Amino acid sequence: MTPTHRIGIGDAERIGRRAATPAPDTVTATETHCPYCALQCGMRLVVRNGAVSVAVRDFPTNKGGLCQKGWSAAELLSRLDRLTAPLMRTAKGEPLRPVSWDAALDRTAAEIRRVQDRHGREAIGVFGGGGLTNEKAYLLGKFARVGLQTPNIDYNGRFCMSSAASASLRAFGIDRGLPFPLEDIPRAEVILLVGANPAETMPPIMQYFEAQKRSGGSLIVVDPRRTPTARSSTLHLQLTPGTDMAVAIGLLHIALRDSLVDCDFIADRTRGFDAVRRDAASFWPDRVERLTGVPAAVLEQAARLLGRAKSAMILTARGPEQQAKGVDNTLAFINLALALGMIGKPGSGWGCLTGQGNGQGAREHGQKADQLPGYRRIDNAADREHVAGVWGIQSDELPGPGMSAYEMLDSLGSPADAPRSAGSDRTRASVRALLVIGSNPAVSAPNSAHVRERLKSLEFLAVSDLFLSETAELADVVFPSAQWAEEEGTMTNLEGRVLLRRRAAQPPEGVRSDLELLAALARRLGRGRYFTDDPESVFDELRRASAGGAADYSGITWRRIEAEDGVFWPCPDAGEHGQEHPGSPRLFERRFATEDGRARFCAVRYRPSAEEPDAEFPLYLTTGRVMAQYQSGTQTRRVKALNAIAPEPRLEIHPELARRLAIEDGRRVRIATRRGEAVMTARLTATIRPDTLFAPFHWPGVGSANLLTNPALDPVSRMPEFKVCAARIIPDGTEPATSQGLENGGAAAIPDVCRRTEAIPGPQGES
Ligand code: SF4
């Protein structure tokens, strides 16, 4: 079926050709996908006399379901504050003013040349986004390496899925968020969901969990908050923030003690179990209770449910992953899944619930500092040779790996005036000019006040976005970019299913796609022959670049995606006379993607968070999302219906802690960490632990949660520790002091079950 329909008013089912320029008195309907999260719900966009609205589409992932964000997404297309012309400031301190595309492009190209002539090629950085289409992510990676010849490209997905990606690569030799389709979820007898709250972050996915429950299945949730997801669970493990790894090893300890592990699976399909078994030996339930606050009896119950199930899944998300030990946290849960023999069987498996819209695809095709398209490595000679061949350059022209996202942001500006974060590599050259596409690091990066200062210190900043985001406000040149429903391109959802977003409306006059922007800049830099701005041609080139790589898209075409409701990678091209590859909905059924086909157990050492509460900052602070907002809020804060639901950041505080601090519900409070202070409205709720505060991160300004977060990085994934740091709370108008009801470092407010009494061993280094 053609995905774009033109239909007469009142005849909603007749199919026509396209909806981009509707004639008067016609209705066009285009089958496409939501602009937001990684579920990429299918939706139909109906254009009636120029007005766009969202309608149901029966797509296999969301089966007609949409959340409030999806239902209200069309409002983004008609916002009056939409950027419709490039903006430029003539000098630092001058205001941004509308200019022509030629003027903005000429200035940007001239600044790139000037900075590179003066400071070298790597003085230019590129910062992308996990919401970009595969085509944009691919072309952005190529633009950095071929157009700018800089190693310094990374993206905000580093802040999202990088720990799960590194863990999955180590254990299985491949990184695909879910190695099975969503339809497998109801087949699991037991599901262990760690650090995820899909009931609020992607509600349509809950139909799979509800189906699992209806079939008699159990859901175990591990989360410091009693979220709506946790409230619907069979068992809730309300752990102390930052102690996920101890929970995983503790469950493995019980499974070993009670002979619940699958010895045949371990012998036939894995390597490295002995070291993991040895390490688990000392994680007795009562010790794990002391470390995590989860009662030993609850741990025993969870281990028995998992270990006795015929099929079980472990799903992790940002809770354990967004930590300075996020890779090891994730590996500890993968170790548990492997020990129980839960992988590669029907209704069983480990998976990561990806967050950003194209969190999966955007990390496969060259936006990451160390990667080339197809999940190839930039430091591998054969990989470089292949991609250079597709790009028509010599492999020695390709730069090497660049800095990770936070490290690049931390390096911005002149090294002389740069107060770099503790632990940063001061020997690395600085990035003096930055191109940001589809990202808002001024709000979404940790330690954001510092990041804003670094952005301000740049010699030149160019930003492409739909709206004047907080990062765009700091730019020297701003490009107005087309948005989801105004352009075409592919996305890869959390299952590894490659989808096609079709254009439903024309972009406003003056707006161009990021592909056009990159191709136009490349022409001005004398590299235009390497670039096209046609999305389907870019996808065809991506297919060739990915051929033979781990994320092989070479057998996927736009035609097949439409005909088959998406195609799962890997999907190699069959060649001229071969039989079309069906795609790969399920991985690991017979072998893992390692050299010998066996999964790897990876030994991990339990260690504390980078910053633990102390007398000065006696509470834990954790951050996350709310249902009606998305990421840095650049889009959702502009949607009336969403803003009415969640107009401001509300800090979750347990009533017992609030009572001790004399804080009332709805009162403004200051929260302080070692990075800075933020002001939020108190929301008293018994669903949070009494020793923990929860702050949503979608807002800029004084209420920005990332003014507080810790940029301590995981040694492997370079993921910052968004999920845990030490904080104190200051009722407005009072001085911060531990005597304000926080005697004993706040611990007096903590019930025994939540109190950690065992000293945590010091950092052990990477295992
Ligand atoms: Fe959009 Fe995600 Fe909501 Fe689906 S769950 S409608 S993809 S935001």
Going by alpha carbons, the residue nearest to atom 5 of ligand 1 is: 202
Residue 430: helix, strand or coil by DSSP? coil
d(CA 762, CA 501): 48
d(CA 573, CA 555): 4
With beta carbons less than 8 A apart as the criterion, state whether 674 and 617 touch. yes
Q: How far is the CA of 202 from the centre of ligand 1 (A)?
A: 6
Going by alpha carbons, the residue nearest to atom 3 of ligand 1 is: 67
Alpha-carbon torsion, ordered 49, 54, 57, 63, to 10 deg = -170
Q: What is the pLDDT of residues 418-472, one digit of tens each?
A: 555 555 555 567 899 999 999 999 999 999 999 999 999 999 999 999 999 999 9
Look-up of token digits 């190209």:
109
H-helix segments, 322-466: 326-339, 381-391, 405-411, 441-444, 448-456
Of 62, 72, 197, 202, the residue with max ligand 1 atoms within 8 A of its CB, to mutate for a pocket test, comes to: 202
> Quick one: which of 376, 379, 373 has its CA closest to 391?
373
**Which pLDDT value is given to residue 632?**
85
With beta carbons less than 8 A apart as the criterion, state whether 321 and 195 touch. yes
Q: How far is the CA of 274 from the centre of ligand 1 (A)?
A: 42
**Which pLDDT value is given to residue 7?**
34
Beta-carbon-side half-sphere exposure of residue 520 (alpha carbons within 13 Å): 15
| Ligand 1 atom having least distance to the Cα of 66 | 6
With beta carbons less than 8 A apart as the criterion, state whether 718 and 407 touch. yes
Q: How far is the CA of 645 from the centre of ligand 1 (A)?
A: 16
Strands of the sheet containing 4-8, edge to edge, are 4-8, 26-33, 42-48, 51-56
Q: How many CB atoms lie within 10 A of CB 734?
A: 12
Binding-site residues, ligand 1, Cβ < 6 A: 34, 36-37, 39-41, 62, 66-67, 69-70, 202-204
Q: How far is the CA of 34 from the centre of ligand 1 (A)?
A: 6
| Ligand 1 atom having least distance to the Cα of 201 | 5
| Ligand 1 atom having least distance to the Cα of 70 | 6
Q: How many CB atoms lie within 10 A of CB 21?
A: 12
Q: How far is the CA of 299 from the centre of ligand 1 (A)?
A: 33
Of 39, 197, 494, the residue with max ligand 1 atoms within 8 A of its CB, to mutate for a pocket test, comes to: 39
**Which pLDDT value is given to residue 505?**
92
Q: How far is the CA of 25 from the centre of ligand 1 (A)?
A: 30
Give this prediction's pTM: 0.91
Going by alpha carbons, the residue nearest to atom 4 of ligand 1 is: 41
**Which pLDDT value is given to residue 468?**
97
Q: Which long-range contacts (CB under 8 A, 24 or more apart) does 233-237 make?
A: 233/193, 234/305, 235/298, 235/301, 235/302, 235/305, 237/292, 237/294, 237/298, 237/299, 237/302
* Entry field: residues in the chain: 767
d(CA 718, CA 546): 25
d(CA 267, CA 262): 9
Q: Is 715 exposed, middle or buried (0-12, 13-18, 19+ CB in 10 A)?
A: middle
Residue 600 host element (H or E)? strand 599-600
Going by alpha carbons, the residue nearest to atom 6 of ligand 1 is: 70
Of 33, 34, 76, the residue with max ligand 1 atoms within 8 A of its CB, to mutate for a pocket test, comes to: 34
Complete DSSP assignment for 385-425: HHHHHHHTS-GGGS------HHHHHHH-S-GGG--PPTT--
Look-up of token digits 């993921």:
719
Distance of CA 690 to the CA centre of its chain: 28
| Ligand 1 atom having least distance to the Cα of 40 | 7
Going by alpha carbons, the residue nearest to atom 2 of ligand 1 is: 37
5 token code pair: 């329909």
Provide block-wise average pLDDT over 10 residues at a time, the chain (767 residues). Answer: 36 31 75 95 93 94 96 92 96 96 98 97 96 97 98 94 94 96 97 97 96 98 97 98 98 98 98 97 98 98 98 96 97 98 93 89 92 96 98 97 96 70 60 97 96 97 97 98 95 97 94 98 98 98 97 97 96 87 96 97 96 97 93 90 94 96 94 97 97 95 96 96 96 45 32 38 29
Q: How far is the CA of 91 from the centre of ligand 1 (A)?
A: 41
**Which pLDDT value is given to residue 730?**
86
Q: Which long-range contacts (CB under 8 A, 24 or more apart) does 397-400 make?
A: 397/146, 397/149, 398/145, 398/372, 399/121, 399/122, 399/145, 399/149, 399/150, 399/151, 400/151
Looking at the DSSP assignment, which residues form a beta bridge with residue 33?
Answer: 42
d(CA 7, CA 49): 11
| Ligand 1 atom having least distance to the Cα of 35 | 1
d(CA 695, CA 700): 13
Complete DSSP assignment for 667-701: -EEEEE-SS-EEEEEEEE-TTB-TTEEEEE----G
Residue 134 host element (H or E)? helix 134-142
In terms of DSSP bridges, do strands 619-624 and 668-672 run parallel, antiparallel, or are they unpaired? unpaired
**Which pLDDT value is given to residue 50?**
85
d(CA 409, CA 445): 9
d(CA 182, CA 260): 26
Left if phi > 0, otherwise alpha if psi is -120 to 50, otherwise beta: which for 63? left
Distance of CA 393 to the CA centre of its chain: 32
With beta carbons less than 8 A apart as the criterion, state whether 331 and 602 touch. yes
**Which pLDDT value is given to residue 49?**
87
Residue 192 host element (H or E)? strand 190-194
Of 33, 36, 205, the residue with max ligand 1 atoms within 8 A of its CB, to mutate for a pocket test, comes to: 36
| Ligand 1 atom having least distance to the Cα of 73 | 1
Residue 352: helix, strand or coil by DSSP? strand
Residue 141 host element (H or E)? helix 134-142
With beta carbons less than 8 A apart as the criterion, state whether 250 and 283 touch. yes
Q: How far is the CA of 38 from the centre of ligand 1 (A)?
A: 8
Of 33, 68, 69, the residue with max ligand 1 atoms within 8 A of its CB, to mutate for a pocket test, comes to: 69
Q: Which residues have CB under 8 Å from 497's CB, separation 6+?
A: 61, 181, 566, 567, 568, 585
Q: How far is the CA of 70 from the centre of ligand 1 (A)?
A: 5
Q: How far is the CA of 211 from the centre of ligand 1 (A)?
A: 19
